[in-house]
Structure formats: C-alpha cells, structure tokens
C-alpha cells in the first residue's frame, strides 16, 4: 500500500531514526523530492547501510563511517540489514555513542551473513564482545551492559 505524500512525509519527519540501505534511502529521498541535505535537515539520525561496505550514520552535526565487521565466511546476506538495526538499537537504548551503536549493528549483522536464512544465527554475549573488539580495536573498553 502506498501512503499519500503527506502521510509519508509526516512519517519521515517524525521518525527519530531513519534507517535503510542505500537503495531504500534513495527511494525515500526521491519520493519526497528532497536533496540529501533536505533529508538530513528533517531527520534526527539518518543511517544508510551499505552491505559489505558498512554503514554511514549522519546527524545534523556529525557523520560516522562504520566499517563492516569481517565475516568468517559469507553464505547469505539475507536479513543482515534487520540484524544491523537490532544491534544498533541494542546500543542506542543503552545510551551508547552513535559510533558504538553502529559498530554493534555491524557486529551483529555479520553473524547472519555467515548462516543460511534470516533467523539461523546465534551468539553469546561473550562471543559478541570478543568479536566487536576484534573488528573495532580502537574501542578496547567496549563492554555494554546486557
């Protein structure tokens, strides 16, 4: 179902976080007939996932480039964007910095890439923290409260 332009614009403007892959964000931008600058002016946090290239988190004042975590193998990317969002939000609701939240999203997403299917991955807190630190050694004190 397509929403009217007014409802769609209202949804985007009132969303605290707008997240999608590069194709989805481009569709939003085109549907609203906005430039990238317009989109950033009307969004608190804009997250663009880029598959194996990582993600970009943008606010009105900052841009964070999030490198993708390295998978042990690449079997199926299906669901990686959803798992990225879950990992990001796990950090966000804990009040962690946006860059850390993005790295958490990337770390979580890599687990689903390594398995076939969208809900076949699993990790422990300990393994997640170890994998995060391995992929993002610049954040050695990472230890979220789960």
Tokens of 57: 């988190």
What separation, in Å, do the N-terminal and C-terminal C-alpha atoms of the chain show? 37
Which has the closest alpha carbon to 67: 50, 45, 85?
A: 50
- The whole-angstrom separation of Cα 68 and Cα 125 is 19
Catalytic pick from 22, 76, 82, 139?
Answer: 82
Q: Is 82 a catalytic residue?
A: yes
- The whole-angstrom separation of Cα 29 and Cα 146 is 35
User: Which amino acids are annotated catalytic?
Assistant: 82
């Amino acid at each position: 179902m397509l929403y009217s332009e007014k409802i769609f614009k209202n949804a985007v403007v009132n969303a605290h976080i707008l997240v999608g892959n590069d194709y989805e964000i481009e569709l939003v931008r085109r549907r609203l007939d906005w430039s990238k600058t317009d989109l950033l002016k009307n969004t608190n946090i804009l997250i663009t996932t880029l598959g194996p290239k990582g993600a970009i988190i943008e606010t009105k004042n900052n841009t964070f480039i999030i490198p993708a975590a390295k998978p042990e193998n690449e079997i199926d990317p299906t669901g990686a964007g959803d798992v990225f969002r879950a990992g990001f939000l796990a950090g966000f609701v804990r009040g962690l910095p946006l860059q850390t939240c993005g790295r958490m999203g990337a770390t979580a997403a890599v687990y689903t890439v390594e398995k076939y299917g969208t809900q076949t991955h699993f990790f422990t807190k300990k393994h997640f923290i170890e994998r995060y630190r391995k992929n993002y050694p610049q954040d050695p004190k990472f230890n979220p409260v789960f």
